[in-house]
Amino acid sequence: MKKLGFIGLGIMGKPMAINLIKAGYDLTVYDINAEAVTALAAAGARAAASIAEVAQTNPVIITMLPNSPHVKAVALGPDGIESHARAGTLLVDMSSIAPAASQEIAAALKAKKIRMLDAPVSGGEPKAVDGTLAIMVGGDEADFTEAKPLFDILGSSAVLIGPVGSGNTCKLANQVIVALNIAALSEGLMLAKKAGTDPQKVFEAIRGGLAGSTVMNAKAPMILAGNFKPGFKIDLHIKDLANALDTGYLTGAPLLLTSTAMQILQQLHAGGDGQNDHSAIARFYEKVAGETIGD
């Protein structure tokens, strides 16, 4: 049985870790939330008391954490992976963070002969549960090949984009496109509603045409039902777009539409929708229009 460490057991990490246990991995887990660790131990994982314990005992470690500062602390902190992992350890960071942060962490770890892939995912909690995530990877090809059996358990696709940082650059592009898709969908459905046309019928008519998309198929039913139970929260999308905008400033990439989407998300956060699904972008249009899209 292959030994594997997993740090970060939140809305995405927990189902991912469970899928690895089901696949037969000897999984050692850690999270600052003791209840999450206890739940995974009940599912068959080994409970670690610290990051150091995970780092000392596992040749491969997966991290799934909220943002760049959390990954830096776990990887480079005094009690973290850099200080306690053996030379040759492979860190697979599946968090969605800033590409520059991934590169900074990888460079520091390389000095200790610790390898790293940045491998953020798309698909939200439902695909984490199903093991059908889309995985975008940055790093060396040999390290990608080593980690591929893990990616095959966790996702339906895994693509090596380029060197470290490329995975998170790809994820930021993904998040820009998803946010703008949801905003465009909301805008179009509200146009239909205000014009006296049934938004449900509009969705049914256009979903198979050029406007159709995976985003539309996933989010239109939620918008029409007024169901904003989180699969991917507004506040998390704000984090991703903040990283995208920062990266745009660093690279000179024009992100005009992303800036507008960020303002919409920030207004939703201020209005109490931060913990709702990002399909709640529709609520911005509903508040402005004074009418709901669904019945």
Instruction: Determine the 3-state secondary structure of 3 from DSSP.
Output: strand
Residue 131 phi/psi, 5° resolution? 70, 35
Residues 157 and 202 in one domain: no
Structure tokens given for 179: 């946010």
171 is catalytic: yes
Structure tokens given for 108: 């520091």
Of 111, 146, 163, which closes a domain? 163
User: What average pLDDT is seen over the chain?
Assistant: 96
User: Hey, CA dihedral for 2, 88, 38, 8, is it positive or negative?
Assistant: negative
Structure tokens given for 259: 């800036």
Of 128, 163, 198, which closes a domain? 163
Q: Does residue 55 fall inside a structural domain? A: yes
Of 121, 117, 32, nearest in space to 74 by CA: 32
Q: Does residue 231 fall inside a structural domain? A: yes
Residues 78 and 216 in one domain: no
Residue range 176-193, pLDDT digits in tens: 999 999 999 999 999 999
What is the domain-level CATH number for residue 221? 1.10.1040.10
**Above 90 in pLDDT, residue 72?**
yes
What is the domain-level CATH number for residue 121? 3.40.50.720
Number of domains in the chain: 2
Q: Does residue 295 fall inside a structural domain? A: no
Residue range 93-119, pLDDT digits in tens: 999 999 999 999 999 999 999 999 999
The pLDDT score that the predictor gives to residue 1 is: 57
Helix-strand-coil split of the chain, %, nearest 5: 55, 15, 30
Of 163, 187, 212, which closes a domain? 163
Strand partners, 102: none
The arithmetic mean of pLDDT across residues 121-127, rounded, is: 89
Residue range 36-66, pLDDT digits in tens: 999 999 999 999 999 999 999 999 999 999 9
First-to-last alpha carbon distance for the chain, in angstroms, is 53
Residues 62 and 148 in one domain: yes
Residues 31 and 130 in one domain: yes
The pLDDT score that the predictor gives to residue 124 is: 85
The pLDDT score that the predictor gives to residue 34 is: 95
What residue numbers bound the domain in which 258 lies? 169-289
Residues 105 and 188 in one domain: no
Question: Residue 13: how many CA atoms within 13 Å on its side-chain side?
Answer: 28
Residues 153 and 18 in one domain: yes
User: Hey, CA dihedral for 48, 51, 56, 62, is it positive or negative?
Assistant: positive
Instruction: Determine the 3-state secondary structure of 50 from DSSP.
Output: coil
Residues 158 and 280 in one domain: no
Helix axes 166-194, 199-206, angle to 10 degrees: 130
Residue range 237-246, pLDDT digits in tens: 999 999 999 9
Residues 90 and 210 in one domain: no
- CA triple 86-36-79, angle to 5 deg: 30
Could you identify the residue written with the tokens 């920030």?
Answer: 266
Q: Does residue 294 fall inside a structural domain? A: no
Residue range 75-86, pLDDT digits in tens: 999 999 999 999
Choosing from 110, 112, 113, 171, which is the catalytic residue?
Answer: 171
Q: Does residue 211 fall inside a structural domain? A: yes
